Structure 1
Amino acid sequence: MNINRALSVAALALIIVSGNATAQVKRKPTPSPKNRPATTAAAIYSPTLLPVDKNVLIGKLPNGLTYYIRHNEQPQKRAELYLVNKAGSVLETDAQQGLAHFTEHMAFNGTRDFPKNALVDYLQKSGVKFGADLNAYTSFDETVYQLPLPTDSTAVFEKGFNILANWAGYVTFDPAEIDKERGVVLEEARLRGKNAQERLSLQTLPVILNNSRYASRLPVGKEDVIKAFTAETIKSFYADWYRPNLQAVIAVGDFDVKRVEELIKANFSGLKNPVAAKPRTEFNVAPTPGTVVKIATDKEFPYTLAQIIVKHPQSVTRTTDNYMQSVRISLFNFMLNQRLGELQQKAEPPFLYARTSYGPLIGKQDAFSSVVVANPDGLEKAVKTVVAETERARKFGFTLTELERAKQQALVGIQNAYYERNKTNSANYVREYQLNFLKGEAIPGIDFEYNFYVNNISKINLAEMNAMAGKFISDQNRVIIVEGAEKDKDKLPDEKAILSWIGAAGNNLTAYVDNVTSKPLMEKAPEGSKVVSETKDEAIGTTTMILGNGLKVILKPTEFKNDQILINGSAFGGTSLASDADYTSASFAGSVVGSSGISEFNQGQLDKMLAGKNVNVSPYISEITQGIRGSASPRDFETAMQLIYLYFTQPRKDAEIWKGTINQTKALLTNRTLDPLSVYQDTLSNVLSNNNFRGGATTVERLNTANLDKGYAFYKDRFADASNFTFVVVGSFTVNEIRPFMEAYLGALPSTNKKETFKNLKMYPAPGQITKTVYKGVDDKANVQMIYSGDYVFNEANNLQLDALEEVLNIKLVERLREQESGIYAPGIRANYVKNPQGRYTVTISFTCAAANVDKLIAATLDEIGKIKQTGAQPADIEKFVAEEARSTQVQMKQNISWAGYLAGVVQNDQDPDQILSHVKNLDQITVQSTKDAAIKYLNNNNLAKVILMPEKK
């Protein structure tokens, strides 16, 4: 269960910049006649209330409970059921701080119809996985429960509404269960907090939120309250605020709408509001006159950053005027951040990261926020640069080419949403309806929104856009935050200095010059080579082709998405073929060349050329492979093929991008050792790679040896021979439609028939028992990883047994370490197995806990493992795994991304692709005896590495 806790300044910035739902869009589309929506009067811009999407049924019960119901068939035979409560931490009394979130936990620990753990047990047996599927979150203003269910089981699906009703009004709050859960809630707080980010948040949030109710009611609550509250105190919160007139049920999925409405009425009509209901106060954050500056430091914070927040009253999109303004804001955000992105492509970037945007903030506020992470000793330059870009936009405005490009980008996004309107995931609709219930955000539907964009975005002019920076910028209701390492405290500016930086940032500015090109990516298509052989696999619907240059293509046309084609091409080799001396140069080759543009076009020019196209292609070089990943709309598939061709044949060598990447990597290393998790990760990496330097973090010394010429030469060598590449293409196409593009572009790739493969560098844990303990960190927070490893025979039967063992371990360790010991929030169990570069497996068990509990919890983990070795898994746990695996497989069989990953894996592991069809049937191979055998084989304590992070000794 996630606490949507108060965040650090940097995290708040991410909320701000991602807050606008209409933010990503591209070129004015030209849909085919069959796809072109009719233009209606509602689509023509006028300042009226936005309509309500006719495809959602909205109702209200006599007790005040609101419901949203929508039939949607993506994914098929599935539904998303949500309970949304307008009750969060902001409503807590002093004695209840943390109990909004604790209430959420107790909903899974006993209700009227599901005592103790019966609810989770029932759902797991129905194929719903706790944590991954079944979950909830608590924020300042709301608590939301999510319940994804299959609809092909009427009993399970209809029981879901009973479960929601139990959460809404019938949580029992058994005192014994409360006491057991106290430790779990405190461990969740330890897992997500007890770090520099949390400590800095406690310093800065009262300033950002002006000491409002929000600043004193963080969802995580107070440790002393959580440890000592009585059952009556939490029952009082529940009785006051979990009431139908503050609740909504959202149901979206593959079901009969009328039947769902009947189920909601039957299950929720009996809920009653309190006789003397407390008023649901709407809290806000009072504006601050002038500017408030806060400088905060922490011993373990590895960066120096600044954030400038200009707060504005919250805007809710209800009318066409509001909607039009939200489009302008999205264009403004896009254009300003494009300029910042160009600055990051310099040889000596003025910052490590920067983002400026207008969007929602906590406490019924919007904000224009700029956040910048500085290079070491470069805060002044970073702050002045970011502020200068906003000032440049305010003084000189944007260019017409920038605006047109932003409009193209905007229209591509809305066009993609429109084309996928009958393939949109149910969870997307749930999010919209949540915002409608919680904030009153309009839900006009994609048909209206698409028409609105197409008919109105051209009306947005430069004068309007150029006025926006002036509207957003102010020295009133402004907060400036500076955060840094405690050791650098003397280097940080005081209030006077940072205000002077901001005041001087606009001096001596000149207008922005938009460096664009009208040249095409390619003047003409290459001659290519024809398909020389073609085979079909009717069982899974694939076609395999061999082109004249030896390159293989596996095609799987699907109807899962209307506007998506996924591309993945790879071959063996990778950085394993680089010498130790050249490894560092080689390790940067893929990412640097992939960020350097292509042919004669630098990255900035390339990005601008691709505006208006729904296409993304990037090369990569991993340890044992090199390849190309990409995606495109069908209409932009040829562009994707051109990019692939050029990344093979005309990669761009950009000294500025290389130098900038090396410099930024060095900057990130400067204070890395302040962060306990980074130090811990270095030790963990050394154990996992048997101390091979390639598996660990890079160093400044190694970076000083990195060489662009060597990196570029390595890249070109890795992509010099296409004959050993296999491309997997999955999505919305027919074989005949895309055959000419593959023959022209993939068929023209160079071929030398070298038949290269990887080298086995034996980067895996050494055999035997290993214990490494790192002492780093000021808080009482320990991290534990227990890693079993060894040689492995990679095949479907063994893989299935390891997958089952992973889930059985997860179930048992949740029961033991969380529910019984109350010592952790959630264990992380990961069974990993590979065929290449040699057959190896690892089973990793990880958890976070109090330092004093490390030995006890490791012993408890080994005890549970011993039980499985002795008696095998419980039949009920096997039943849960089988149900979960069958359900997830059914969903994945209807997803492009799952098929793309599966087919690429089949190629690399030389497997029979048809085996996926028998996967669910093969689940009957999981038995009590097979889990016992697997545990004995793979959980051998003689090959166990324990890597532990403990707080510093005092």
Structure 2
Amino acid sequence: MLKNYLYCTLFILLLNFPHLCWAITPIDTDPAIETYQLENGLTVYLQPRPKAGLELRLIVHSGSLQENEKQLGLAHFVEHMAFKGTKNFPDKSSFKSLEEHGIHLGSHINAATSFNSTVYRLSLPTSTDQQVEKGLMVLSDWAYHISFESKDYESERDVIIEEWRLRQGVAYRINTILDELRYHGSLYADRAPIGSLDIIKNAPVEEAKTFYSNWYQPQRMSLVVVGNFDTKVAKQWIAKFFGQRPRGNAPVDVPQLRAFASQSEPLVKIILDREQGQRIIQLALQRNLPTTLNTPQGIKEDVFDLVWLTLLNQRLSLLVENQILPNSQVNQQGILFDDKRMQYLIFAQPKDQQYLDAIKHLFTELQRMSTNRVSEIELQQIKTQILTKLKQQLENESNYQNDYLANQLVNNITNSLPIQNKQQQLTQTEKILKKVNTEQLQTMVAERLNSADLRIAIIGPDSDEEAINISQIKQLWQSIRQTQLGDFSFKKVDVKLDIVPLEQGKIKTTRNISEIKAYEWQLSNGLRVIARPDNTLSSDVEILLQIPGGLSLDTYQQLGIMRWSQRLAEASGYGSYSAAKLNQFERQHQVSVYPYAELFYHGLRGKAPNDQLASLFKLFYLKLTAANFDPERLAKTKQKLGLAYEKQPVERQFLDLINKNAFNHGERLLVSPKGPWINFTVDQLKQYYSQTFNLPLSANIIISGRFNIDDIKPLVERWFAGLPVVDRKTTWIDNGITPIHHSMQKAYPMASSDKSMVSILYSEQKSWQLSDQLKLELLDYIVNLRLRHYVREQASGVYTIIFSQQLIKYPTSYYLARLNFTTAPDKVNALTLLADKVIQSVAHDGITLDELEQAKKSWLLDHQEKVTSSTYWLTAMAQIAADGDRFDELKTQPNIIEAITLEDTNHLAKQLLGKNPKIFTLLPKENNSLNQ
């Protein structure tokens, strides 16, 4: 900024090149965020607000791009070492110190290394003075005082290799080639944060220390503090902990670090894989930005991008609606690689193997927007859409969670974006949009298309090898770029649901559910509605229709028919509205309604902002009463999903093998390429849908979110109280799906990458009690900490290992636990034994009182966060409503947790943990060291 200002003081430049002087024009920044700099150059961002909790972020503006050829992967390695020990918190005591307060790795403590930065995160659910001081002290130690103990460094090598291994599979194979395409011609292509395995295995600790010393310097750091805190006190601690280190002399980044070589023609990659069951076209336009986006000119550029990308997305949606493309979508905001390089992404799916035809439509619409002016009507539609969305965001801004705001600040800081609140964004965008006309828009799109680098990826199954080649795509691009096209022929018309309910009813009775501050309504048609308004919740208003039955209703001759009937209804549309029209309606109003099917329940789920409740209820009614079933759509869906089933990733096949072998009647849990779905007819699916959505008296409707109860009542009466209801109560069917309660061990040498996956299931017969379920949740925290200590930290054998357990209540009560990890094939036997030994030791020897008290703190903190979500209340109320209406259990769970004793917990652990282990192992194809 200083250099730009100095350049602009030259009168001759001001006179002849006024556009160079954008940097001296001030930009409004969010007044709620205080920004200042310590003497050593570290920049601080403080955003105090009344919402409980505190979010801390340390941004080190150094990542894998700062590595030299001997350091590939060491930026990420340094991040790992921060958690191994520091000056004031040796031997991982920073973890232990925070875990004493219930704060744990993953949920509250984390870090991530990218190309340009490394970000450390601490989330403190409560912001006591002690916790704030401790959090800032931990962050400052990560910034300045990582210990780099040799034994920790050596053991962490294998953990990082296992992090690499965890990603292996079809997604990794495809993403590796996509990265080569995305970053071609730049240092980015050679600086993946995971780095070089050879360097990870062999680089001396001194090399990591050198990277840390060179690039972790205060003038290359930013500190973000968001939440409920005392600004004066926080500043004192920040000065104490972060002001101690003098400004460093880190090498200055040079522009060449992020420079991309220009390209004379499109870059194309065809990526075909035996485990890829979908066909996808990804078209990327990359350009160098004329200025960063936190300048007046940059903000204008960003708004222009929002306009043309939103308009292009609308046009592609119209092609989908008119069945020219099966599916297509534009990321309506560009993706920043850094503050000077932008990428615009466009996706499409071809009809069958017709890749070239789909690409032609994408090329055509890009060319059309660069040569032809859009219509005034189109432009005004897009402006209205953009402003409407910003106004909705402004209305909900006070409900944003601290972690969301902290992450937004990190994104804005690392990408040089303006730091503004929603009101400032709205005012600014309105001002810019007023001046945007069709001529300017066409010129801006043409400039972008002329200056951008085009990169295209074709992704599909290995059977498509003959379907397309690179030269065809390049020739097509050159041809269309020379074509003068006519105006876009399709017109967007806002979708209005012109429907009225056949009948309306009334709320007959009201009951206050005081335990959870909710209301129960009995409607005149017999349906029951439970509504819980809460203006402190973080997400949209959500509705759930819960009908007993679900997948349990499928007969063996028609396994899958529930989901297929719902799938066909969604593809065929409802009433007089096609699926594409309803998708457009959902986008217009930011609502979504879709059918679902679980093991014992099915129905509809929906959500919307609280200013779109009328649209939500209307769409809910339409999907309940007017499903269509189109034979052509069924044929296309079978063809599409048949390919997906045939090309299932190995990991999905492994899951099916586990379900088939570990459960009685496990075949009901499989996704079969040769299942009964092949022979489903339209009439079958229509009849089944009609039967399963014929509302019984046992159905419940649950509503949760930020709404006014008086606004909901008339909508419930208009759209729900008149629905036809069958005068009977239905239930689910017990198909005998239970774990096989004995030990087994099976291995499957079928993996397509160099990794082994282990899944251990434990099971036992056990009656259900809420207090026992809560004890198991406490044991989850303890067991996972022990597994992390013994399997990850001491054995250095895995990157992540997860243990979870629960008591199943219906239809037959039992205990079920799962332990999952990924590791190297040559370590799989030893680590499987070690992981099981950890479980067995908890069962045999129990846990300590300190472990129990720490687990209680963690549970209470996690629960405190959960109850701020409307989804939590929707799910919890639905479960209780379907099982005896014991709503007081939702209120009393924290009290039950507090009352749980060590003796009772250890007794339960001895009863259940480690029982009847069923060990399943996925091995590389050439490795068959375990008996099947």
TM-score under structure 2 length normalisation: 0.90
SS in 2 for 1:941: coil
- Pair 1:310 & 2:263 matched: no
The aligned counterpart of 1:13 is none
The aligned counterpart of 1:272 is 246
Partner of residue 52 from structure 1, selected from 3, 17, 29: 29
Partner of residue 473 from structure 2, selected from 485, 492, 498: 498
The aligned counterpart of 1:743 is 717
Partner of residue 805 from structure 1, selected from 771, 779, 786: 779
SS in 2 for 1:912: coil
The aligned counterpart of 1:948 is 921
Partner of residue 230 from structure 1, selected from 204, 216, 221: 204
Deviation at 1:269, TM superposition (A): 0.9
The aligned counterpart of 1:136 is 111
SS in 1 for 2:399: coil
| Matched ranges for 1:575-654 at <5 A | 575-609=551-585, 612-654=588-630
Unaligned 5+ residue runs, structure 2?
1-21, 928-932
Change (3 A) 1:272 1:806: same
Q: Match for 1:153: what amino acid?
A: T
Partner of residue 57 from structure 2, selected from 70, 78, 82: 82
Change (3 A) 1:415 1:838: farther
- Pair 1:909 & 2:883 matched: yes
For residues 635 and 469 of structure 1, what CA distance do their matches in structure 2 show?
34
The aligned counterpart of 2:736 is 762
Q: Match for 1:97: what amino acid?
A: L
- Pair 1:918 & 2:876 matched: no
Partner of residue 712 from structure 1, selected from 686, 689, 697: 686
- Pair 1:359 & 2:334 matched: yes
Change (3 A) 1:765 1:277: same
Q: State the percentage of identical aligned residues.
A: 23
| Matched ranges for 1:158-169 at <5 A | 158-169=133-144
Q: Match for 1:73: what amino acid?
A: P
Q: Match for 2:114: what amino acid?
A: S
The answer as to whether partners of 2:373 and 2:442 remain within 8 angstroms in 1 is: yes
Which of 513-522 and 706-715 deviates more? 513-522
Change (3 A) 1:768 1:344: farther
Q: Match for 1:281: what amino acid?
A: V
Change (3 A) 1:462 1:704: farther
Deviation at 1:484, TM superposition (A): 5.5
The aligned counterpart of 2:17 is none
The aligned counterpart of 2:396 is 420
Change (3 A) 1:297 1:331: closer
Which of 629-638 and 355-364 deviates more? 355-364
Deviation at 1:85, TM superposition (A): 0.2
SS in 2 for 1:327: helix
The answer as to whether partners of 1:290 and 1:475 remain within 8 angstroms in 2 is: no
The aligned counterpart of 1:873 is 847
Change (3 A) 1:501 1:704: farther
The answer as to whether partners of 1:618 and 1:629 remain within 8 angstroms in 2 is: yes
Highest relative contact order (Cα 8 Å, sep 6+), 1 or 2?
A: 1
The answer as to whether partners of 2:501 and 2:722 remain within 8 angstroms in 1 is: no
Q: Match for 1:99: what amino acid?
A: L
The answer as to whether partners of 1:354 and 1:386 remain within 8 angstroms in 2 is: no
Q: Match for 2:709: what amino acid?
A: V
SS in 1 for 2:589: coil
The aligned counterpart of 1:698 is 672
Q: Match for 1:496: what amino acid?
A: S
Partner of residue 80 from structure 2, selected from 83, 105, 121: 105
SS in 1 for 2:720: helix
For residues 630 and 431 of structure 2, what CA distance do their matches in structure 1 show?
41
Change (3 A) 1:750 1:455: farther
The aligned counterpart of 2:124 is 149
Change (3 A) 1:465 1:224: same
Deviation at 1:621, TM superposition (A): 3.1
The aligned counterpart of 2:825 is 851
Deviation at 1:547, TM superposition (A): 0.6
| Matched ranges for 1:765-844 at <5 A | 765-844=739-818
For residues 587 and 752 of structure 2, what CA distance do their matches in structure 1 show?
48
For residues 661 and 396 of structure 1, what CA distance do their matches in structure 2 show?
36
For residues 176 and 700 of structure 2, what CA distance do their matches in structure 1 show?
52
The answer as to whether partners of 1:209 and 1:285 remain within 8 angstroms in 2 is: no
Deviation at 1:454, TM superposition (A): 4.7
For residues 787 and 677 of structure 2, what CA distance do their matches in structure 1 show?
42
Q: Match for 2:392: what amino acid?
A: N
TM-score under structure 1 length normalisation: 0.88
For residues 184 and 510 of structure 1, what CA distance do their matches in structure 2 show?
58
For residues 391 and 119 of structure 1, what CA distance do their matches in structure 2 show?
56
For residues 635 and 463 of structure 2, what CA distance do their matches in structure 1 show?
28
> For 1:37-91, what per-residue CA distance to the aligned partner results, in whole angstroms no more than 9, with x for missing partners?
xxxxxxxx999542111000101000000000011233x2x00001000110111
For residues 743 and 306 of structure 2, what CA distance do their matches in structure 1 show?
55
SS in 2 for 1:421: helix
Deviation at 1:699, TM superposition (A): 1.7
Deviation at 1:553, TM superposition (A): 1.1
For residues 357 and 519 of structure 1, what CA distance do their matches in structure 2 show?
21
- Pair 1:195 & 2:169 matched: yes
For residues 834 and 402 of structure 1, what CA distance do their matches in structure 2 show?
54
The answer as to whether partners of 1:789 and 1:842 remain within 8 angstroms in 2 is: yes
Partner of residue 660 from structure 2, selected from 686, 710, 720: 686
Partner of residue 556 from structure 1, selected from 506, 512, 532: 532
SS in 2 for 1:920: helix
> For 1:842-891, what per-residue CA distance to the aligned partner results, in whole angstroms no more than 9, with x for missing partners?
21100000011111011101211121111111333222211111112222
Unaligned 5+ residue runs, structure 1?
1-44
The answer as to whether partners of 2:762 and 2:915 remain within 8 angstroms in 1 is: yes
Q: Match for 2:80: what amino acid?
A: H
Which of 717-726 and 811-820 deviates more? 717-726
For residues 368 and 753 of structure 2, what CA distance do their matches in structure 1 show?
44
For residues 441 and 952 of structure 1, what CA distance do their matches in structure 2 show?
48
Change (3 A) 1:947 1:234: same
For residues 821 and 529 of structure 1, what CA distance do their matches in structure 2 show?
65
Change (3 A) 1:692 1:343: farther
Change (3 A) 1:885 1:350: same
Change (3 A) 1:619 1:207: closer
Q: Match for 1:63: what amino acid?
A: N
Deviation at 1:267, TM superposition (A): 1.1
For residues 663 and 349 of structure 2, what CA distance do their matches in structure 1 show?
31
SS in 1 for 2:165: helix
SS in 1 for 2:262: coil
| Matched ranges for 1:524-543 at <5 A | 524=500, 526-543=502-519
SS in 2 for 1:829: strand
Change (3 A) 1:199 1:518: closer
SS in 2 for 1:412: helix
For residues 56 and 895 of structure 1, what CA distance do their matches in structure 2 show?
26
The answer as to whether partners of 1:420 and 1:563 remain within 8 angstroms in 2 is: no
For residues 476 and 106 of structure 1, what CA distance do their matches in structure 2 show?
40
SS in 2 for 1:233: helix
Partner of residue 184 from structure 1, selected from 146, 154, 159: 159
Deviation at 1:724, TM superposition (A): 2.3
For residues 705 and 178 of structure 2, what CA distance do their matches in structure 1 show?
47
Q: Match for 2:473: what amino acid?
A: I
For residues 772 and 461 of structure 2, what CA distance do their matches in structure 1 show?
48
The answer as to whether partners of 1:405 and 1:612 remain within 8 angstroms in 2 is: no
Q: Match for 2:109: what amino acid?
A: L
The aligned counterpart of 2:360 is 384
What is the aligned-residue RMSD (CA, Å)? Answer: 3.0
Deviation at 1:836, TM superposition (A): 3.3
- Pair 1:888 & 2:888 matched: no
Number of equivalenced pairs: 901
The aligned counterpart of 1:9 is none
Partner of residue 931 from structure 1, selected from 905, 908, 925: 905
Deviation at 1:774, TM superposition (A): 1.6
The answer as to whether partners of 1:818 and 1:826 remain within 8 angstroms in 2 is: yes
For residues 307 and 904 of structure 1, what CA distance do their matches in structure 2 show?
40
Partner of residue 446 from structure 1, selected from 409, 422, 439: 422
> For 1:373-426, what per-residue CA distance to the aligned partner results, in whole angstroms no more than 9, with x for missing partners?
556643333333433343454455555555444344323321222112222111
Q: Match for 1:953: what amino acid?
A: E
Deviation at 1:692, TM superposition (A): 4.2
For residues 743 and 381 of structure 2, what CA distance do their matches in structure 1 show?
58
